[in-house]
Structure 1
Amino acid sequence: MALVTLLAGSGIGVASGQAMQPYQEYDKRLRTAEQVGALTSDLFGDAVNMFDQSVAFEQTDIDIPGTNALPVKLTRKLVVRPVPFAGMAPQIFGGAGDWNIDVPYISGVFDGAYGWNVGSAGLRTARCSDIFYPHTLPPHRVDDIWSGYSVNLPGQGARSLIALPPAQFKPDNRQASKWTTSALDAITCTPMVAGYEGEGFVLQTTDGITYTFNIGTTRTAGTMGQDSASGRSRPRVEVFLLASRIEDRFGNAVSISYNGKGHPTAITGSDGRNISLQYANDRLVSASAHGRSWAYAYTGSTLQRVTQPDQAAWEINHLADTRVSYMIWNEDPGKGCGNVAPISPKTYSLQMKHPSGAVGTFRFDHQRHYRVGVPSVLCQGEAVSGSAENESSIVHHLAVPIHFDVLGLTRKTIEGPGLPNALVWTYEGVNGQSSLWSGNVPPCVACNGTKVVTVVQPDGSTLHESYGTVYSRDEGKLLGRNVVAADGTVLEDEDLFYVTTAQAASMPFPDRYGSRWGGNDESSVLVRPLARKVITRDGTTMTWNVAAFDAKGRPLRIERSSSLGDSRTDATVYFDDTTRWLLGQTASTTNADTGLVESQTTFNALAMPLQQRQFGKLVQTLSYHPDGSVASFADGRGNTTTLNNWKRGTPQSIGYPDGNAISATVDDNGWITAVTNEIGYTTSHGYDAMGRMSSTTYASGDAVGWNATTQKFERVNAVEHGIAAGHWRLTTSSGNRRKYVYFDAMWRPVITREHDTANATGTDRYQRFSYDHAGRTTFQSHPGSSATLTTGQWSEYDALGRLTSTSGDSELGLLTTVTEYLPGMDVRVTSPRGDRSITHHQVFDTPSYQSPVSIEQPATGEPGIRTRVVRDVLGKPTRIVRESF
């Protein structure tokens, strides 16, 4: 068992695996700070909702590590959405101009005259201990203004409040609660303390994190358009109930302070972590944390630049705005509600420059997405007040919309220094117009409501994802995906099947999480977990199937199999504390084919792992400090390592079973500034403003006087070795040794240079590297005396990321090894000499080449050699046979 968060994380998580020694983790933390990590294609923080191609950008400026799992971080979020060209545009939560400062909140949009206070029975500020529909004035309908309550927990996305959950979805001691979410959050009530009257909410997640929402603020949300008969419109307001405190089950806490506008001014951890935020004209202008500062600059109300402590910056340029010229639509939808307002054309483009020098350009088009299976009975005719009831006086209204419009991403481009070509992704996924379903009670079982979203990758390969669009059945659910190579070959298919409405009736879990309270997506409250997954690759079908669920909709028994004949069945027992509401940890896993208990964990009163066993053997025993950090862990023989004086996720004192100890000094930023080994020698480390290691000074007193090492990572505004200006360079110095690493815009090393300063010309050694769009190395040159290197090792990959060939330049020319993926999950490797080997594999529910069962090496003119590996159902080798054939 490995203490996976021993030195680098929250200090409360444990997982299985090979035990890691503490000194290795010190080294790991230091090496992480020493090395520059490559960026990936989502370096701009773009999170694409593939269902409708909508995008939210999330960029974290400050993130201070802690010993507990509670975040002390500053994250900005830009949600791309259309706003009306005319009239008052809806206000966002904001804080950083057109970006939201991402804090936990619960929000809803209401009639501006009544807010979140007035329901159908009058003044009702008991919004948590009671449930009510918000109020508006006729002829407007509340569903035209209000769409329920959204919960935003940073890092977890949004979910909605669901009313009246069944008993098994609430803690034993909180059965009176009126609310939950689809994540089974436990919700109770608390008085508001500022900004808004009445009740707030206390939300506890199933991993024991509690959010107290008791600070209120409001934003104007625009007006709901004129009613076709009355010509009147209603002002709207969005109410935010902000979290002032986040607390775990050990008493660790993070407090968030707000100004009068509801923007955070301080994020403070009980462990001493702190972020301070300063504003001018309701916009964030600076943020500071433990001696470092970030600056924010604007053009009008638009965030344009974020300058980091190292003076590198984010730059943001809106090439067009998101305002849409909506037409005033007063026409009657008609008896079948098939007459809908035409979509207004709009294209929006956004360009961002990363501190690395990479430039991302994002194009969005105004798109319409249709849903299927909306019952025709929801097209309702209403008599216009004061008119006789004849055909001309009837106005039709569709109670559940049949479409929605978004600004959807259609193209993404990444360019920058050191990138030989622009990386381009294109997106397409608009479905055609649909009509109402003739049935009465959803869902429509027979409706064929699927849309396909297509992403063309920079290498020409294509990803297709299929989504459900049937109202109250599978709307928004991923139903399948496939990967197609640039030549049109389908490399992999995946199909997903969920519990159906018919099947749900016989399941042990409730049909619903509760009652939908606002909005029009009925499927959002249905408990419909994934039941089956089928993957087809290279002619082999692999199946993951849930044979039994528990009362909370989680898999209890899973069958894994493939068309190759491999199969196994595994059973899971969960540890649930239904009073403290700590759910979902694994208590044991058992292989049903053999009856063997593969893993078993016991827990303490706070649901922390105490002892862990594998196949009945004790492998680890843990103890904890009162704050939840690990105090000690012992192996199966009782050898105990102690961990004390935790700071920022790192124990500063570690005692070993043999009586020796090592220690570290950690500063307020979480950086390890010194490590003292078992015999008392101390190595010290310095850092630059972004936490990258800048110096290492070794202990004195050794027989060898070790040179100190310095590192400088800097942006270069000049062309070097053919790399355009604006690239970054890392210079490492140790005595006479110099090493220069030149990076591209994705912070991948493209050229390295090393020499001895005493004879730079005679000792210069270069190496060059190239990469594909996914960051895989496609060329690694042989070392040479100049940067213009063209010989070396070449690699090619398919659209699944599998290696297909490796080539090496030699005195005999280019020598190529080809790897082919054959039907049956077989792999054929052909060497440069033409020798071949074919490997067969054991495969269950997922594609894997990790468990060979046969390796055949045919020979010309003589018997071949076969190595057979006999494996049990757990994948472990039981016999190895080498034979001729």
Structure 2
Amino acid sequence: MAGSNAFAQSDVVYPWDEYEKRIGSAREVAKLGSDLLGEQVNLANGALSFAMTDVDIPGNDRLAVKFSRTYSVQNQYERRTDLMLADWDIDVPSISAVFGPNWESRVPGNPGRRCSAPAHQLTPPTPVWDINFWDFWQGNNLNIPGGGELLQVRNGAVMPTSGGPYYWMTTGQVYVSCLETIKNGTGEGFLAITPDGTKYWFDWMAQYHEPNMSSEIGGPSLARRKNVLYATRVEDRFGNAVVYDYSNAWDAPGRLTGITSGDGRSLDITYNSNGHVDTVSDGERMWSYEYVVVGPRRSLSAVVQPDMTRWEIGFDAFTSAEVHYPIGSQLEPTRDCYIRLAQPMGPTQLSGTIRHPSGALGTFQVSWLTHGRSNVPVACENYDWGSAGSNTNDDVNTWAISYEAYSLMRKVLSGPGVATSEWNYSYTPNISFAFYPGGSMSNPCPIGSTCGAPLCTSSACAGSSETKIIGPNNEQTKYFHGNSFRYNEGKLLRVEQGSVSAPLMMVQTHSYDFSMVSQAYPERFGISLREKFDGFTSEFHRPLLSTTTAQQGRRFVRTNGEFDSLARPTKVVRHSAPVSP
């Protein structure tokens, strides 16, 4: 890609720079729905992303023939705009993960067994020097409806009666078997089947740049790549199919060239000289894509529709944002075991804009903020036990405590004939950590303690983060999400709605089964292969037991009284009563 050689090849990131990928609750919580401009906001940490469909051709079946694009506001340090739309991605069914650098099995002499390897070999290859695979591999993630982290199928799981053998599954009851080979390389692919019988063939490989990673300051670094297996075919249970065509090599960024369905729908996609999408055509109409140069990167700046109206995108600041922290004994320490000790180097406040073809303009402001967990046990890695001259800059806790990321602070909507509206966001992360009883830095897991066991397993001690949104007319909403380590992480616990002057006009609370023991359903369907309990929110069932809404002097209660073996409610009771004085 043009301009890519402008990036420094010697710079690296460290495991704690990517802790937002390890803390599952940062991804699993509910999002504020896509709005006029495609914006999506994670209600726990303010992570801002965009999703927009430019072309969607209806057909004789439910299989989609569409061209959709996505963008995530994130730290761009040592990253490149090598996606199919430069800094935007095309939303195509896929399975992806970051490896060091290729997606290979550890089975001796058979690296191609990326799907069917035995359980103890399913994790990605570990370098012989000091970096752990859990620092750079955060699970294999399936991007289809009902997808998510791929879990190892547990013995006794209720599986499809045909096909298989099934090695993987998701909490959405998608099951995955293996294909003998991929179409543009060697090694196995994946075949997924959803609960409604739709099948996906994942057998076209692509690779994207990731920053090198080092486990310690001054130590060796690992070359990494994001590996993606794209779907080449999607088929429903009636035999209707959609085919995806690509032209890239297995170790190059993806290049989707066409989508074709059995009922005659099709999309043709062309690329410019920089390797980014130039046009999309359905045979009668054409969409064009324009880009601008942003330092060493490129950024999608406009989408021109067939009627010549335009989406105008001003994400230059987002795409060029690089944040890092000072390193070295001559500078202030980077961190200790618990938190960052240095101030970030780079932009801590950014703004971007999108203009709708109708003329409506959205302005989005983000800030670099700290988020994290509560009740995290302390067990410090890289700690030199107080030896003279020890370097504390790379001390880090075994279980991620906190991370930094860009969070939405302000959204403004304006335009011709539209009254300017503004939303303001604020966050209280409520981060905390503690030793096990009797523990210390030199003895973090004393006799009687189980390392990694949750410190809190009740509502009396469990923590939560708080997000407050104040809208254009001083309406106010607060969201409380659980963030207590290995207990209520990622669950929406409470919503308060009202105004700045009357904040509790409606209060809704949710309760869950946090016991993590088998009921009518198992405590978990599959097993996460991520270490450090980073797959906790994907792995364990914690179904909703009840929702209580207090509003206008009454309390409305919905209770899920009984569940089936798939943790689905089979008995639901609703009632209401006056709120007790």
Is the TM-score greater than 0.5? yes
Q: What residue number does 2:116 align with? A: 129
The DSSP-based 3-state class of the residue aligned with 2:134 is: helix
The DSSP-based 3-state class of the residue aligned with 2:212 is: strand
1:160 is the counterpart of 2:149: yes
The DSSP-based 3-state class of the residue aligned with 1:429 is: strand
In structure 2, C-alpha distance between the alignment counterparts of 1:102 and 1:402, rounded to whole Å: 31
What's the CA shift for 1:434?
Answer: 2.0
Is contact 2:338–2:401 with CA below 8 Å preserved after alignment? no
Is contact 1:324–1:346 with CA below 8 Å preserved after alignment? no
1:436 is the counterpart of 2:449: no
What's the CA shift for 1:325?
Answer: 3.0
Kindly provide the CA deviation profile for residues 324-347 of structure 1, in whole angstroms up to 9, marking residues without a partner as x.
33114465966xx23534452611
CA 1:319–1:99 in structure 2 vs 1: closer, same or farther (change >3 Å)? closer
CA 1:150–1:276 in structure 2 vs 1: closer, same or farther (change >3 Å)? same
What's the CA shift for 1:506?
Answer: 5.1
- Opposite residue 320 of structure 1, the aligned amino acid is A
Is contact 1:471–1:521 with CA below 8 Å preserved after alignment? no
1:148 is the counterpart of 2:139: yes
What's the CA shift for 1:286?
Answer: 0.7
1:211 corresponds, among 197, 200, 203, to 200
Q: What residue number does 2:446 align with? A: none
What's the CA shift for 1:437?
Answer: 4.9
Q: What residue number does 1:410 align with? A: 409
CA 1:339–1:450 in structure 2 vs 1: closer, same or farther (change >3 Å)? closer
CA 1:333–1:341 in structure 2 vs 1: closer, same or farther (change >3 Å)? closer
The DSSP-based 3-state class of the residue aligned with 1:524 is: helix
2:96 corresponds, among 94, 102, 107, to 107
What's the CA shift for 1:409?
Answer: 0.8
In structure 2, C-alpha distance between the alignment counterparts of 1:290 and 1:417, rounded to whole Å: 34
CA 1:319–1:186 in structure 2 vs 1: closer, same or farther (change >3 Å)? closer
Q: What residue number does 1:73 align with? A: 66
Q: What residue number does 2:313 align with? A: 316
1:505 corresponds, among 509, 517, 532, to 517
Map of 1:16-55 to 2, 5 A cutoff?
42-55=35-48
- Opposite residue 219 of structure 2, the aligned amino acid is G
1:550 corresponds, among 557, 560, 564, to 564
Q: What residue number does 2:441 align with? A: none
Question: Larger % of strand: which?
Answer: 1
1:244 corresponds, among 207, 214, 232, to 232
Structure of greater Rg: 1
- Opposite residue 420 of structure 2, the aligned amino acid is A
- Opposite residue 361 of structure 2, the aligned amino acid is V
In structure 2, C-alpha distance between the alignment counterparts of 1:489 and 1:464, rounded to whole Å: 9
What's the CA shift for 1:471?
Answer: 1.8
Kindly provide the CA deviation profile for residues 352-382 of structure 1, in whole angstroms up to 9, marking residues without a partner as x.
1100100000011111101112222x43456
- TM-score with structure 1 setting the length: 0.55
What's the CA shift for 1:247?
Answer: 0.6
1:119 is the counterpart of 2:106: yes
In structure 1, C-alpha distance between the alignment counterparts of 2:503 and 2:308, rounded to whole Å: 47
In structure 1, C-alpha distance between the alignment counterparts of 2:343 and 2:193, rounded to whole Å: 41
Map of 1:461-540 to 2, 5 A cutoff?
461-501=475-515, 504-505=516-517, 507-518=519-530, 520-540=534-554
Kindly provide the CA deviation profile for residues 195-243 of structure 1, in whole angstroms up to 9, marking residues without a partner as x.
3421111111112211110000111211114623x53221111100000
Deviates more, 1:282-291 or 1:343-352: 343-352
1:278 corresponds, among 265, 270, 274, to 270
What's the CA shift for 1:317?
Answer: 1.0
- Opposite residue 256 of structure 1, the aligned amino acid is Y
What's the CA shift for 1:164?
Answer: 3.0
CA 1:467–1:489 in structure 2 vs 1: closer, same or farther (change >3 Å)? closer
In structure 1, C-alpha distance between the alignment counterparts of 2:543 and 2:284, rounded to whole Å: 47
- TM-score with structure 2 setting the length: 0.82
Kindly provide the CA deviation profile for residues 691-723 of structure 1, in whole angstroms up to 9, marking residues without a partner as x.
xxxxxxxxxxxxxxxxxxxxxxxxxxxxxxxxx
CA 1:109–1:343 in structure 2 vs 1: closer, same or farther (change >3 Å)? farther
Is contact 2:326–2:342 with CA below 8 Å preserved after alignment? no
1:138 corresponds, among 109, 129, 133, to 129
Kindly provide the CA deviation profile for residues 582-614 of structure 1, in whole angstroms up to 9, marking residues without a partner as x.
xxxxxxxxxxxxxxxxxxxxxxxxxxxxxxxxx
In structure 1, C-alpha distance between the alignment counterparts of 2:524 and 2:389, rounded to whole Å: 41
The DSSP-based 3-state class of the residue aligned with 2:400 is: coil
In structure 1, C-alpha distance between the alignment counterparts of 2:556 and 2:103, rounded to whole Å: 50
Q: What residue number does 2:420 align with? A: 422
In structure 1, C-alpha distance between the alignment counterparts of 2:365 and 2:93, rounded to whole Å: 29
- Opposite residue 136 of structure 1, the aligned amino acid is P
In structure 2, C-alpha distance between the alignment counterparts of 1:259 and 1:318, rounded to whole Å: 28
- Opposite residue 322 of structure 2, the aligned amino acid is V
- Opposite residue 316 of structure 1, the aligned amino acid is I
Q: What residue number does 1:188 align with? A: 177
Kindly provide the CA deviation profile for residues 449-505 of structure 1, in whole angstroms up to 9, marking residues without a partner as x.
11111111111100111100012212121111011124325221100111112xx42
In structure 2, C-alpha distance between the alignment counterparts of 1:456 and 1:201, rounded to whole Å: 45
In structure 2, C-alpha distance between the alignment counterparts of 1:311 and 1:264, rounded to whole Å: 24
Q: What residue number does 2:29 align with? A: none
Kindly provide the CA deviation profile for residues 288-331 of structure 1, in whole angstroms up to 9, marking residues without a partner as x.
11301111111122111111011100001125245233114465
In structure 2, C-alpha distance between the alignment counterparts of 1:121 and 1:443, rounded to whole Å: 39
In structure 2, C-alpha distance between the alignment counterparts of 1:437 and 1:466, rounded to whole Å: 25
Kindly provide the CA deviation profile for residues 438-457 of structure 1, in whole angstroms up to 9, marking residues without a partner as x.
26412621433111111111
Q: What residue number does 2:50 align with? A: 57
In structure 2, C-alpha distance between the alignment counterparts of 1:41 and 1:553, rounded to whole Å: 28
In structure 1, C-alpha distance between the alignment counterparts of 2:433 and 2:367, rounded to whole Å: 24
In structure 2, C-alpha distance between the alignment counterparts of 1:173 and 1:472, rounded to whole Å: 35
| Residue segments in structure 1 that go unaligned for 5+ positions in a row | 1-39, 565-822, 825-885
